[in-house]
Amino acid sequence: MVKSEHHSNTGEGMGMSRLRTSAQGKLCTLKIYPYCNSDPETTVLCHLGGNSKGMGIKSHDFFAVYGCSNCHDIIDGRRKTDLPREEVIRCQLRALERTWEQMILDGLITIN
The model's pLDDT over 6-53, given as tens digits with 9 standing for 90+, comes to 444 444 444 568 999 999 999 999 999 999 999 999 999 999 986 655
Q: For residue 87, which of 33, 49, 11 has the smallest C-alpha distance? A: 33
What percentage of the chain has pLDDT greater than the value 90?
70
| Segments in the chain forming alpha helices (H) | 18-21, 69-75, 85-105
pLDDT at 58: 79
The pair phi, psi for residue 32, each rounded to 5°, is -75, 105
What percentage of the chain has pLDDT greater than the value 70?
79
Right CATH for 2-111 from 3.30.70.580, 3.30.50.20, 3.40.50.11540, 3.30.300.30: 3.30.50.20
Please tell me the distance from the alpha carbon of residue 112 to that of residue 2, in angstroms, as a whole number. 7
Domain residue extents for the chain: 2-111
Adjacent-strand bridge partners of 44 = 67
